[in-house]
Amino acid sequence: MIKINTSSPEETFKVGRELGKKLNHGDIVCLQGDLGAGKTNLAKGICAGLGVKGEITSPTYTIVNEYRGRMKVNHMDLYRIRKEDELYDLGFEEYLYGDGVTIIEWPDKSRTLMPDNYLDINLKGQGTEREIRIIPQANKYIELITELKQDVGISN
């Protein structure tokens, strides 16, 4: 686990961008935090790091936004999902096991369908400051977060 503190939305975006540069096909990133914690801003940074051009918007009302960068990016927001059956109707598992990278905001609504290998990110904060905790849920992410620590200047 690593902890990164940021003091502005721009810094949070940059953390996401550095993370996005390291992601590969099949990677799943789960973003957790209260409303306004910075999940979508971090997701925008991840998309930028994956080479997505143009406007990146919150999928709160569409549930899924698909983008194309150096690979396909599925950005999901499950906030409005009420029952697990809705995830089946959405084709949730096809996103998890399909091409590209999948970013999931509010992943707790999908835990029973999640694979064992994903990157869990929890955001907390007030005002412009954020604490970003990144917890690898698979060995393949340990090297990734070690590199990320170096890239964002964390010494511990």
- What's the pTM? 0.94
Cα separations (Å) of 146 from 23, 41, 66, 77, 105? 13, 22, 28, 27, 23
Task: Say yes or no to pLDDT of 155 above 60.
Answer: no
Domain ranges of the chain: 2-146
Which residues, including other chains, have CB under 8 Å from residue 53's CB and lie 6 or more apart? 69
Which residues, including other chains, have CB under 8 Å from residue 155's CB and lie 6 or more apart? none
Q: Which fold has domain 2-146?
A: Rossmann fold (3.40.50)
Category of 120 on φ-ψ map: left (φ > 0), alpha (ψ -120 to 50) or beta: beta
Please state the rounded mean pLDDT for residues 33-39.
94
Please state the rounded mean pLDDT for residues 127-137.
94
Could you read off the pLDDT of 65-89 as tens digits, one per residue? 999 999 999 999 999 999 888 999 9
